[in-house]
Chain A
Amino acid sequence: MDAHAIELRNIRKVFGKDDVLFDGFSFAVPRGQSVAIVGPSGAGKSTLLNLAALVDSADAGEVRIDGVARNISEVGSLSLAYIFQRDALLPWKTVLDNAMMGLLCRRMETSEWRQKALDLLREIGLAEYCDRLPSTLSGGQRQLAAIAQNILLEPEMLLLDEPFSALDFQNKLLLEMRLLKLLAGRKGKPVTSLFVTHDIDEALVVAERVVVLGRRPGGSAQVMLDIQVPIPLAERDPIATRQCPEVRNAFQELWAAIRPLVAGATNNG
């Protein structure tokens, strides 16, 4: 079996007539690794995530999932979850029904899975909100419900597009803790994750590897820096990790790579 869970090979992606975002771009996430992508707006972070999630297609090149080239029509057949910046909950369904949306889509709504959904909501602190509608929850609770919706099917790959950006700092810390627990693997099976964020600290807390994606003026997106975070994922704590001297050094290194790119970024996702 291929060592890479997600691999983008020689990707070309053009917006409009001549805005070449990716040109011969290659990138890989090994199985079980947690990778964060940081960079200025317009560097192509969300586009890279959409390509990896097979919700967008490249003009050239291939996206390989578990070593097999895949296309956009196969998105539903993969063990992959994609958590968006905004929670994608159905406003007319209860939290429990929303958590079970993946089961509904795959026609797996058995009583056994319903019990699993209830157990998961209990595990993440949403048990008492099961019968409520999303509009009655706080932003943090809604995002937790969206995460529950995505992890109920125990995906092997988790893609996250700035999932905590709309939350206050306290909720962000709480959700980072939940995410770390999740990434360590449910039932001891580690999850491969690709996490896009603007927040360098957040990237250093939830990822084993942080990649800076950037564009020089007039050029296509490239990996500007690729570093390992010097603390094992299992030993992470959102606050302690932020204060750790090695992590502060990594922050400085990442910021030094991002800073020159900020002014030169263009406007594609």
Chain B
Amino acid sequence: MADSKRFLRIALRRVLQLLPGIAFLAIWQVLGMRPSVGFFFSTPLDVVRTIGSLIGSGELQRNLGVTAAETLGGFVLGNLVGSAFGIGLWYSETSAWIAKPYLTILGSVPVFALAPMTILWFGIGIGAKVALAFLGTVLVAAAQAHRGVRLADPLLVRRFRVFGASRAVIFRHLLLPSAALWIIGSLRLTIGSALLGAFVGEFIASDRGLGHLIVRASGLYDAATVIAGVITLALMALTLDAVIDMIEARAQIRHAGGSTGAGSSRS
């Protein structure tokens, strides 16, 4: 009895959650059937049909693959270079002091303002988009990693020093693991910027990618393809976010030594 009540309550909440979305799609479909509205907004059914035909022709997968490659290329490169630079600053207080104002200045520049320059430097191929994704990632990654090593537990640093540890040992066995959560935090902060960088690059000048698909379709007043491209971008962002969620959860378990199956925490 209690189980069936609970099931009903969950089902009702699920319906209530879906209701606004269904209502939105229904209103959109009805209004979109008028040519004056449909021209600008298409209809949900048209969008689904367009997605189907784009998948059928392989066009969606090709463009998705290009945007994903540009995003992940810039994202991975930006996080690797940024984290290495941020952690490396720990080795020299003087370098950290010198670098600080430059990082602040560069951090305050909207990197996408550099988009036209990257096209100039790298052409309209994948290089310019990777560069923009990289620029959107690298400074945040550097700042996060540097903060991570600076915030390592001072008691543990002192413990390592009393034991006579070299800087290399402190770095490898204490600072690097301490900074790990900050570095993973930077993955979450930068994935959106990387995707935006790749997309902006494609938007400005490209011959492939989801940005190119959207720009080309909007030039042809093809609202259904534009919306299909936007939905694909959103799904890609959600997938990347879910992957980072998984990485973050695993890292937190490992770092905090929480639920490793070794037993619950006591104090």
Contacts and interface: CB of A to CB of B under 8 A. Distances in A.
B263 interface: yes
Interface in A53-88: 53, 55, 75-77, 80-82, 84, 86, 88
Given A133-B257, A133-B260, A53 B162 contact: yes
Contact of A136 (B156, B163, B177, B262): B262
Interface stretch (A28-36, A100-108, A230-238): A100-108
A102 B135 CA distance: 41
A77 B266 contact: no
A88 B156 contact: yes
Contacts of A92: 177, 254-255, 257
A82 B254 CA distance: 27
Sort chain A's interface into a size bin.
Answer: 20 to 34
B120 interface: no
Sort chain B's interface into a size bin.
Answer: 20 to 34
B159 A135 contact: no
Contacts of B173: 90, 104
Nearest to A139: B267
Given A91-B257, A105-B160, A137 B266 contact: yes
B164 interface: yes
27 contacts: A55-B161, A75-B162, A76-B161, A76-B165, A77-B164, A80-B162, A81-B162, A82-B162, A84-B155, A88-B155, A88-B156, A88-B158, A90-B174, A91-B255, A101-B160, A102-B163, A104-B173, A105-B160, A105-B163, A105-B164, A105-B165, A105-B166, A106-B165, A132-B263, A135-B258, A136-B262, A136-B265
Given A76-B163, A105-B166, 17 more contacts: A75-B162, A80-B162, A81-B162, A84-B159, A88-B153, A88-B158, A91-B256, A92-B255, A101-B160, A104-B165, A104-B173, A105-B163, A131-B262, A132-B262, A135-B256, A135-B257, A138-B267
Interface of B: 153, 155-156, 158-166, 169, 173-174, 177, 254-258, 260, 262-267
